[in-house]
Structure 1
């Protein structure tokens, strides 16, 4: 237990034969201000006590509890937290890996990070590598019977750490992660969604994990997820707009074929590089088409799309109804419209009768004029005959 003891220090008197030193002819260096930063376990302990307002006894008690917790977390009885790495079981197939076939091995499984995979942090990779090295180092197993393959598996461990601790190499491996490659085609079909007992629940349960695992390839973060059935139209449109314009960093360099060992031919190297480039472009194109098909399928069975269309149709009908009146007003308006049409019909009929009467009057006038002409011709013909 720590204790604070104050000790009074009194400097001794100067000796009788002491004389001040002679002044030096050298110039004194100018004063320099330096910023000192407190550090060390004692200072950190002081900060913890000050922040949490702990006494020395309480601080020591918490430190002991933390030490016991870390010791329980670490299987070797040390004092380091394994950051959730844990101890995954090692199968015979895993332990019998050939280090020459390192491109075919699952680096996450080799380091015991299968449960974390691309979510594993650099610190977790470091802890996992340390634990594997302590367990499988050849010097530790030297002379042990039945452990002839420990050296080979140790090489696999070193290669896995080399790949996963390098950001570029790790990204290339994550692009073709064998675990996700096996479930890449695990996408629900349209019939599975539409014929489900609860199509809405089946849609979100089926497509939610699909978009979640594809989101890790996006250059733009964060990535909009599938959401829920009550999302507004703007959010749904933003979701599909993002995925239809998905910008992926996924590459396929990890699957490139190596140049034949011992070959110094430039032609061989150029041919291999050209073939690798062509294969990468082909795989990239196929992956883009695969993701586009997933988005098309999700859009075709998304229950929110049907809901949005129904809401838009109802809104249009309500707008049309509001524009024409609404409630009892449409009946009055319809009645007024019918009366107006009736009035116009009567006016048209009256106008037609008037035109007909004018036509008959005109016809009668023409007939009278013709009769007068005939009478005048008959008078002239009788007068000429008498003379």
Structure 2
């Protein structure tokens, strides 16, 4: 039973107001704040200390004391906490530092498998019992030699055990998890400092981390070192193989689903991007069309406004010059006034009208005369600067047409029309750069505009029946007149074949059958004095002669057969008559 502590107030203090009590201390026990929470044996010891069943020194001391009879009721049996696993190596049950034994304490969890193997080879060669024989000779007594020998063997066994633990990824991960963790908040990002606390390596890709964690958890369910017998170990291996195969299958299916999701997502993003680009292009095109329409409308309004102002100023000039025309001052005619109205710009018209409004009579006529003179001078200067304005130009003493005449379309000839029609049939619709190709096909340097215009005008015209015969005469080739004197053929007997040439032809035809490449060239080479055409003609002639002879022979045979048959019939008839 836990003793209860309480404090009784013996007398009242002067500080008490209205008879209220003052609490000096609470009846709750103080709780120690530990950095780590106790578990297992430490939890039971902490609970016993809080209940007052054991002293602080007894629980924390190194020397174990035998509990009394009362304490037996509170201390559980140590046998129930025994484990089936291997005991910790090292003196007094303390776990050894495997990295320090292999000389990798500076790397620890960062050491690679190749570094572990290399360090184990070096350490094993250095601390092998056969290499430490010199240390045994240094000892004097047999007991010291035996103790030294045991120490060397235990150290070598510890090295082997450290290598077995660190070379196995799962056992090494479990061992690394027992290292103290630096839980201080770092000033900078130090990922390597906390990388040893992960139970698995981060996998590349989305969703691979959780799946790897599930697989490693499934594989850790059956530890082969906890097997009680060989059969139990084999059963564990089979179960682990099944779990591994199942985990791989699930991981593969998850990877396939992830790839499919990525592909569908990429297609979706690509479609959205294409739609966005198309929408932007459409909006941009609409904006350009809108701006072009606005600019055209603005220009149209400006031109209309200018025309309206120009008509107003022309009407104003006509009204001001009416009095001058009625009096016929300075021989100014109505035609001169119209010439000024049509040739002067709006600013000059406005200035002239303003000046005429301030004058009267002869002064107005003088202003009109000056305007006419200035207008003629400007026209003369323009003609001097542009000598082609009159329509003709003098080049090398001959008059040529001006640029306006040069730009006049050249009429289409009949040959060009035929070539255009053939080109349109040869290069149908859909041909890349069709009209440029047709222009090159015609070959007369016609531009594309003229060709397009000709397809709508020239090709649609019906041919004139009166000019059909003229075109026939043009197309007809004139007979060539031979001006040279008559000559005789020297080789008029080239078609004459000798018996030697015929035999050579027959032999060549047998030597070179129909399947031979370039047969007639070889046959002509084998026949002396004959060409390929002559050999072909002779072969056709021989073939025809052979057929004729064969027909004659067949007719003769049929006649003979008929004659013999009638002779037999006659003999039979004579016998019957007799």
* TM exceeding 0.5: no
Higher relative contact order (CA 8 A, sep 6+): 1
TM-score interval (norm. to shorter): under 0.3
Larger radius of gyration: 2
